Amino acid sequence: MNHLLRAGSVLLLLATTACGLTTGKGTPERKRPDMNMQHGAVKADEFLQETLSDIKPALRWVHGPSSDIECSSGNNSATGSGTVTRRIDVLTIVSEQRRGSLFGVVERAWRSRGLTITRVETGKEFPAVNAATADGFQVSLAVGGRGQFEFSVTTPCSAQSSVPAPAAQPNTPPREGEYPWRPDIHDPFWSATTPPPTTPAP
């Protein structure tokens, strides 16, 4: 009888351990008991600003749309947790000749902060780099329509809460008209169509 009880306890422990959460995309995630969605959003905003501060010359940017998704238990029952995605859209024109320089600066900065590079897309039209922090944040830099660069950070599943608007002020005004606003600011370094020097000019 004792060995049956022990076997049952092991099975229960395994089932409990394997019972994680999933995001709206069905990716298994574990809820962060020490963080709610507001804390995660603020941390994501701080990470984006740190990344921008690593880029010289500075890029001109605006906030992209913030979004949140409720995490699912896999059977569509409420979990009381969710993820938040923060975005920054670059309005500096980055030429094809300088894309590699920008990706290189960002990738080196992320590695120096302890991130793991999880995917690199080298396609000419829509290149991208994805990475993950040790505490479960997913970050990316991707080129979209008309060569626009977008940074994004998605938090791990955490307790549901209200989510504030980003506190950081963009360094260029939002554009009029329908979103997305495409790059329209020329920069002597990032917009140049000549091969880049070894290091960006300060």
pLDDT at 79: 83
3-state secondary structure of 172: coil
pLDDT at 104: 97
Residue 98 has pLDDT above 60, yes or no: yes
The percentage of residues in the chain with a pLDDT greater than 70, rounded to a whole number, is 81
pLDDT at 72: 83
The stretch 26-39 carries a mean pLDDT of 69
CA 154, distance to chain mean position in Å, is: 5
- In this structure, of 5-9, 133-137, 150-154, the range with the lowest mean pLDDT score is 5-9
Residue 10 has pLDDT above 80, yes or no: no
Q: Which own/partner pairs from 184-189 qualify as long-range (CB within 8 Å, at least 24 positions apart)?
A: 184/91, 184/93, 185/60, 185/91, 185/92, 185/93, 186/93, 187/57, 187/59, 187/60, 187/92, 187/93, 188/57, 189/57, 189/98
Better pLDDT: 29 or 68: 68
Give the Cβ contact number of residue 158 at 10 Å: 28
For 80: left if phi > 0, alpha if psi spans -120 to 50, otherwise beta; the answer is: left
Better pLDDT: 75 or 149: 149
The stretch 89-111 carries a mean pLDDT of 97
In this prediction the pTM is 0.81
